[in-house]
Structures are given as structure tokens and as C-alpha cells.
Amino acid sequence: MTYNCTIEQEGDMFIVQFPDMPNIQTFGNTHEEALAMAQEALEGCLESDISRGLPVPPPASKEGYPVPVANHIALSLRLRELRGEQSQTDIARKLGLSYQSYQCLENPRKANPTVKTLERIARVYGRELSISM
């Protein structure tokens, strides 16, 4: 999963913004530093928003530079998307997990699922587990 950012030079600074995430803005002294700061800012904001249960817009913008999202954050976002209007309790019950265990899966600061758990999640949602390297 990637979000795209724009980088504009203003004086001796490179300003980064995310069209899909208007609450994120950062900068760097060089273009490379700006991209590194972009990833840090994006992941920090996503972790915070997910942990607080705030809605997170999906990546849509194709302009600018792609900034990859860490797998643990992407997994949390994907689980929330798949769950839709179902409650965490309902999904936990279908997976044979406690509510607290499932809640941790949707929290990127706490999630650390096993492959077997990921396989069960895929089965519950009628999906195939795909691991690409």
C-alpha cells in the first residue's frame, strides 16, 4: 500500500504534502530527506488515526512520489476495510479469538499476527492469503 506525496521546493527547504491526507505536512533539507520524512510522518499519522478509531481515507492520488506504508499499518487498515459495518466482536467470534485479541490485530501498535491467524482471517472473509516478496 502506498500514498503519494508532492514535494515542492520553497527556498532551501523541500515541503511535503499528501493530497489524500491533508493533515500531514513535513519538510526536509534535501529531496531525499523530504521523502524519508514523508514516510515517517505518514506512518505516524496513520498509526495515530487508526489507534484512535478515526476514519482513514484510502490512497487515491496518483500525482507525486509514492510513499510505501509499513506492512503492519497496511494490515490494520485492510482489516478495518474488510470488517466494514460488522463489529469487532462478531469478527472475533468468527475467528475463534477473544475480542481483545482481535482488537489488537486492528491496532498497528499492537498487531503481531501469526501466519495461522492470517489464514483464518482470509478464510472468514472468503479471501486467499497472498504473500508477495
Query: Is the same domain home to 58 and 93?
Result: no
In angstroms, the CA 14 to CA 123 distance is 45
79 and 59, same domain (yes or no): no
Domain limits at 58? 2-68
What SS3 state is found at 37?
helix
CATH code, 82? 1.10.260
- Are residues 24 and 59 located together in one domain of the fold? yes
> Rounded CA gap, 83 and 102, in Å?
11
Tell me the pLDDT of the chain (133 aa) as tens digits: 999 999 999 999 999 999 999 999 999 999 999 999 999 999 999 999 998 889 999 999 999 999 999 988 999 999 999 999 999 999 999 999 999 999 999 999 888 888 898 899 999 999 887 776 5
- For the entire predicted model, the pTM comes to 0.83
Residue 132 in any domain: the answer is no
Residue 130 in domain: no
* CATH number assigned to the domain comprising residue 39: 3.30.160.250
Extract the C-alpha cell encoding 100: 481483545
Q: How far apart are the C-alpha atoms of 133 and 61, rounded to whole Å? A: 25
- What's the pLDDT at 64? 95
H/E stretch holding 33 reads helix 31-51
> Are 9 and 51 found together in one domain?
yes
Q: Are strands 2-10 and 65-68 parallel, antiparallel or unpaired?
A: antiparallel
Q: How many domains does the chain have?
A: 2
Using only C-alpha atoms, what is the Rg of the chain?
17
Residue 11 lies in a domain: yes
Dist. CA 36–CA 32, nearest whole Å: 6
Question: Is 61 found in the same domain as 8?
Answer: yes
